[in-house]
């Protein structure tokens, strides 16, 4: 028979265990009560038979509770299976539960402060010091499988809004990989630097070979095929939506471009080598060719420091332009390098052809251990700091530099020749924000002085203009 102390202990244990089970129904098999019963048995408060009887009863009750919880979870899952999923980490995106539909607002803001030093050149040519709202974009993108779409505008220039991506695409898969067919205003399929997003560039300014000479976006149709280690991108396009995209152009001009690239070596996503090439053929049909129009050190200049403009020479109507590009990208842990070369063959209606070329070599190093994020389209994507400031860290820090040359001198047209060096420091506090500091300087510039040649550039020979630029940017 039980002693009074045994009965009191047993009743107390049952009461405590029951309260624990009721207060925390998520406790699988009433673990707290089982532990308590074991203590009572070890102290001799209950016999082994009583312990066995009570633990079996407790396990049975626990299984009932757990079964009820599982039934409730199943009911919740059933009721909410069609509810949309909302993502808020670094971006706001609403997607259907099955992933077939999604919508995402997008945007970016870039504020620059630029201190220019013309070094004896015309101040207007290189620009005054000051601030600039470089980019202020708003847009949206989404998909409804197999259709995807994007619409984006830039409001930075208050005098003229600028259309950016405006397209609808059909997406598919084959045994060889993924592919899409895009209609509307989209990137021309040429080169790495021009296609790469300004959100992810290690330096504030694009390379000379990309910032002006290449068409960024035009209206037409483009196709893309992506396999495991290679991709192919082609486009057939006409004039873009922005009237001033190519000044002096008519709707008659057509542009056909093709880019092929891949990773012949890829140890993993942070150790790889990309090689690629591009070709672009443009039919101008006698139109003015003046899209090679560069700022050497900052965006505040008038853009004529190097310039090849057929419109400044009587009788120099351009028939076709062929461009050839080579690119190599290496990512090796925190270190990356990019080499790009472009040559243009400008064929006129009556004055022969002209050969122009440029190259750029970029390097960068994360001394906080991150890596440039290369994607299978031959572009860079966003950087995610190993420990952002939101998590008590220092964010990601990167040093970057570029050496580049451009030669627009050939025959009876002198568009100038220059060498430019740029160095920069980047701080990524979080994955969607960045602070940048760049110093760019002209190492050598030649403009004019070629016997028998018409000068179309405005750079001052022998000067070494420079610019220090600060940028604060965010995007989502």
- Which tens digits make up the pLDDT trace of 132-182? 999 999 999 999 999 999 999 999 987 788 899 999 999 999 888 999 999
Residue-level pLDDT at 385: 95
**Number of Cβ within a 10 Å radius of residue 368:** 16
Residue-level pLDDT at 16: 44
- Pair of tokens at residue 426: 């980047």
Residue-level pLDDT at 253: 80
- Pair of tokens at residue 443: 């190492």
Average pLDDT on 440-456 reads 92
146 preceded by a cis bond (ω within 30 of 0): yes
Selected from 1.10.3720.10, 2.30.110.10, 2.60.40.420, 2.40.160.10, the CATH number assigned to the domain covering 101-475 reads: 2.40.160.10
Average pLDDT on 437-442 reads 97
Is 80 exceeded by the pLDDT of residue 73? no
Average pLDDT on 325-333 reads 97
User: What percent of the chain is modeled with pLDDT above 90?
Assistant: 56
User: What percent of the chain is modeled with pLDDT above 70?
Assistant: 86
Question: Of 295, 296, 294, 298, which is closest to residue 468 (Cα–Cα)?
Answer: 298
Q: Which residues pair with 281 in a beta bridge?
A: 256, 322
What is the C-alpha to C-alpha distance for residues 146 and 3, in angstroms, rounded to an integer? 76
Q: Tell me the pLDDT tens digit for each residue of 37-57.
A: 777 777 777 777 777 777 777
Highest mean pLDDT among 76-80, 129-133, 339-343, 463-467: 339-343
Q: Which residues pair with 279 in a beta bridge?
A: 258, 324
Is 50 exceeded by the pLDDT of residue 12? no
What is the C-alpha to C-alpha distance for residues 305 and 294, in angstroms, rounded to an integer? 6
Q: With bands split at pLDDT 50, 70 and 90, how would you rate the model's confidence at 221?
A: very high
Check the CA dihedral 408-410-414-420 and report its sign. positive
**Number of Cβ within a 10 Å radius of residue 1:** 4
How confident is the prediction for the chain on average, in pLDDT?
86
Q: Where are the domains of the chain?
A: 4-80, 101-475
- Pair of tokens at residue 149: 């779409």
């Amino acid at each position: 028979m039980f002693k009074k102390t045994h009965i009191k202990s047993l009743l107390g244990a049952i009461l405590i265990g029951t309260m624990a089970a009721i207060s925390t129904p998520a406790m699988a098999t009433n673990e707290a009560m089982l532990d308590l019963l074991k203590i009572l048995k070890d102290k001799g408060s209950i016999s082994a038979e009583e312990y066995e009887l009570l633990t079996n009863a407790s396990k049975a009750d626990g299984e009932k509770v757990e079964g009820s919880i599982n039934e409730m979870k199943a009911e919740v899952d059933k009721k909410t299976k069609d509810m949309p999923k909302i993502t808020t980490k670094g971006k706001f995106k609403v997607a259907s539960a099955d992933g077939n539909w999604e919508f995402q607002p997008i945007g970016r803001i870039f504020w620059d402060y630029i201190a220019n030093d013309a070094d004896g050149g015309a101040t207007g040519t290189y620009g005054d010091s000051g601030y600039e709202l470089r980019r202020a974009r708003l847009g949206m993108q989404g998909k409804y499988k197999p259709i995807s779409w994007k619409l984006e505008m830039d409001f930075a220039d208050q005098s003229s809004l600028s259309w950016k991506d405006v397209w609808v695409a059909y997406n598919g898969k084959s045994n060889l990989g993924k592919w899409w067919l895009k209609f509307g205003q989209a990137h021309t399929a040429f080169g790495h630097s021009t296609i790469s997003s300004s959100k992810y560039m290690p330096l504030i300014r694009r390379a000379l070979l990309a910032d002006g000479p290449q068409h960024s976006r035009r209206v037409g149709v483009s196709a893309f095929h992506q396999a495991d280690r290679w991709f192919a991108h082609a486009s057939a396009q006409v004039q873009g939506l922005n009237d001033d995209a190519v000044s002096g152009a008519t709707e008659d001009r057509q542009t056909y471009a093709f880019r092929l690239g891949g990773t012949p070596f890829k140890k993993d996503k942070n150790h790889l080598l990309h090689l690629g090439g591009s070709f672009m053929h443009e039919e101008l049909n006698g139109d003015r060719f003046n899209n090679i129009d560069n700022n050497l050190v900052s965006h505040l200049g008038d853009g004529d420091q190097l310039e090849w403009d057929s419109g400044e020479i009587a009788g120099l109507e351009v028939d076709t332009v062929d461009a050839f590009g080579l690119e190599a990208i290496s990512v090796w842990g925190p270190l990356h390098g990019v080499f790009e070369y472009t040559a243009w063959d400008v064929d006129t209606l009556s004055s022969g052809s002209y050969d122009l070329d440029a190259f750029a070599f970029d390097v960068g190093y994360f001394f906080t251990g991150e890596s440039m994020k290369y994607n299978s389209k031959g572009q860079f994507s966003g950087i995610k700091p190993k420990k952002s400031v939101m998590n008590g860290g220092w964010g990601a820090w990167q040093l970057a530099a570029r050496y580049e040359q451009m030669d627009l001198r050939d025959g009876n047209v002198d568009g100038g020749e220059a060498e430019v060096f740029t160095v920069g420091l980047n701080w990524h506090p979080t994955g969607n924000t960045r602070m940048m500091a760049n110093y760019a300087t002209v190492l050598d510039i030649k403009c004019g002085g070629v016997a028998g040649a018409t000068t179309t550039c405005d750079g001052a020979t022998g000067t070494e203009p420079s610019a220090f630029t600060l940028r604060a940017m965010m995007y989502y």
